Amino acid sequence: MFYLEIEGNSKLSGEVAISGAKNAALPLIASTLIMKDDVVLENIPNVADIKTLATLLVNLGAKCDFLDSHILKINTNNINSTKANYDIVRKMRASILVLGPLLARFGHCEVSLPGGCAIGQRPIDLHLSALEKMGANIEIKQGYVVATAPNGLHGADIVFDKITVTGSENIIMAAALAHGTTRLTNVAKEPEVVQLCEVLADVGVYIEGIGTNELTIKGTGQNLITSKNIRVIPDRIEAGTYLCAGAITNSKITITNANANHLKAILTKFNEMGFGIEINDDKITILPTDKIKPVEIVTTEYPGFPTDMQAQFMALALIADGVSVIDERLFENRFMHVSELSRMGADIRLNGHIASIYGGEKLNAADVMATDLRASSALVLAALASDGTSKVHRIYHLDRGYENLEIKLAELGAKIKRLEE
């Protein structure tokens, strides 16, 4: 198993290029299940979760060829199975994204239930009830969602009880191939959801309301969509994480290939903490500050502050001058990094879903263990600001969603090495 060895207290400088967004690429890859012939996806991040979904598609009979490490060509013309096995789904919850497309195209499928995960229970009831409204018969058998709709799915009026990102994506893809018109209310507006809609609209699916929380989608009546080349949007969470690396070392760094429009809530919090931000086309520079102020954060759906940046800002709040408060509203167990940060000398007090971070104490290096993707990046950030050399173990979590993290950080001047236990 690999771990990262990080020497703290160094300043960073220079530029780092942001990769394509994992959470945009995943639904786009799943959407090739409702498309015919070759589909070429560019700016695919070279991370483990993408390979997991590609393997799942190959198991279903699709052809997936990486033309290089960032370009993926997929052809789903010869799919010969509609069963997404436990072995793959358990590795990555986002595998559930094949449910809507498979059911809409073939009228039946079996997808393993993803189960709970480190950050919370994460049910998929909203995905399932929406598909039922579209005419699916759904049973849970031996840990699998067994879904049938022999005559295909039909349009329906669906109001999501809660905003769900992958739930919205699943139903958008299902609706694109359904018979008739689907109206979705309380849809997620995350840039990744918007890109999926834009890609589908671009290839001729009628979608009204893109970028709002109400969508009207006219289905193709099970006619597969002919697609064009797709270019994945930049990863706003990776972008925010590198800006945090600049902030926590109080250094000037620039990220390139970023979309500042997707980062408004995050950039606002840097400003509130005292950091200057400069935006120049697809480049964002963070500037050091004399006094790092504490911050108040409530995680919520886009365009609010993303839960996927909560752990990184908690690490950053540790060096602020005062008490910061973070209210995690989306996931009930997304504070797993707190006990690891405490091992580095952090004073963080939890009260249910609210964390109070007593900043200003110097962090010290320690051996720490990654628990989930974003928690891992918070530990790396804290290590950059600590006295001494830290080791971050179980970095397979990081590899799921951050492309070449240690190479990119080293390019910025961090003293970081990937080593084998």
Q: From the list 23, 112, 254, 312, which residue makes contact with ligand EPZ (rule: CB under 6 A)?
A: 23
Of 34-42, 102-110, 117-125, 406-414, the segment contacting ligand EPZ by CB under 6 A is 117-125
Q: From the list 19, 31, 82, 164, which residue makes contact with ligand EPZ (rule: CB under 6 A)?
A: 164
Strand pairing category for 35-36 and 225-226: parallel
Q: From the list 18, 84, 124, 368, which residue makes contact with ligand EPZ (rule: CB under 6 A)?
A: 124
Q: Which residues contact 166 (CB under 8 A, 6 or more apart)?
A: 27, 93, 94, 96, 97, 127
63-68 β-sheet, strand order: 63-68, 71-75, 38-42, 230-231
Q: Does the protein bind ligand EPZ through residue 134 (CB under 6 A)?
A: no
405 forms bridges with which residues in the sheet? none
CB of 280 to ligand EPZ, least distance (A): 27
Q: Does the protein bind ligand EPZ through residue 236 (CB under 6 A)?
A: no
Q: How many helical (H) and strand (E) elements, i.e. helices and strands, does the chain have?
A: 14, 26
Count of residues near ligand EPZ by CB under 6 A: 23
Smaller CB distance to ligand EPZ: residue 72 or 94? 94
Q: From the list 20, 100, 101, 167, which residue makes contact with ligand EPZ (rule: CB under 6 A)?
A: 167
Integer CA distances (angstroms), 107 to 113, 133, 200, in order: 18, 15, 20
157-159 β-sheet, strand order: 157-159, 181-185, 214-218, 206-208
Residues 415 and 9: their CA atoms lie apart, in Å, by 9
Of 123-131, 200-208, 243-251, 285-293, the segment contacting ligand EPZ by CB under 6 A is 123-131
Site for ligand EPZ in 359-388 (CB under 6 A): 373-374
CB of 334 to ligand EPZ, least distance (A): 8
Q: Does the protein bind ligand EPZ through residue 218 (CB under 6 A)?
A: no
Smaller CB distance to ligand EPZ: residue 210 or 330? 330
Site for ligand EPZ in 274-313 (CB under 6 A): 306-308
CB of 151 to ligand EPZ, least distance (A): 25
CB of 227 to ligand EPZ, least distance (A): 21
Q: Does the protein bind ligand EPZ through residue 330 (CB under 6 A)?
A: yes
Smaller CB distance to ligand EPZ: residue 123 or 360? 123
CB of 301 to ligand EPZ, least distance (A): 7
Instruction: Yes or no: say if 280 and 254 are a contact pair by the CB < 8 Å rule.
Output: no
Q: Does the protein bind ligand EPZ through residue 409 (CB under 6 A)?
A: no
CB of 129 to ligand EPZ, least distance (A): 8
CB of 88 to ligand EPZ, least distance (A): 14
Handedness of CA 336, 341, 345, 350 (dihedral sign): negative
Q: From the list 340, 401, 402, 403, which residue makes contact with ligand EPZ (rule: CB under 6 A)?
A: 401
CB of 237 to ligand EPZ, least distance (A): 6
Handedness of CA 210, 213, 265, 94 (dihedral sign): negative
Q: Which residues contact 406 (CB under 8 A, 6 or more apart)?
A: 4, 416, 417, 418
- From first CA to last CA, the distance across the chain in angstroms is 6
| Catalytic one of 64, 109, 117, 244 | 117
Q: Which residues contact 218 (CB under 8 A, 6 or more apart)?
A: 155, 180, 181, 205, 206, 207
Three-state DSSP class for 117?
strand
Q: Does the protein bind ligand EPZ through residue 191 (CB under 6 A)?
A: no
Q: Is 117 a catalytic residue?
A: yes
Site for ligand EPZ in 87-116 (CB under 6 A): 94
Q: Residue 402: left (phi > 0), alpha (psi -120 to 50), or beta? A: beta
Number of CB atoms found within 10 A of residue 230's CB: 26
Q: Does the protein bind ligand EPZ through residue 331 (CB under 6 A)?
A: yes
Q: Does the protein bind ligand EPZ through residue 26 (CB under 6 A)?
A: yes
339: which 2 tokens? 């006990």
One DSSP character per residue, 308-321 reads GGHHHHHHHHTTSS
Smaller CB distance to ligand EPZ: residue 165 or 368? 165
205: which 2 tokens? 């699916």
Q: Does the protein bind ligand EPZ through residue 127 (CB under 6 A)?
A: yes
How many angstroms from the chain centroid is the CA of residue 361?
A: 31
Residues that bind ligand EPZ (CB under 6 A): 23, 26, 94, 120, 122-127, 162, 164-167, 306-308, 330-331, 373-374, 401
Supply the residues annotated as catalytic. 117
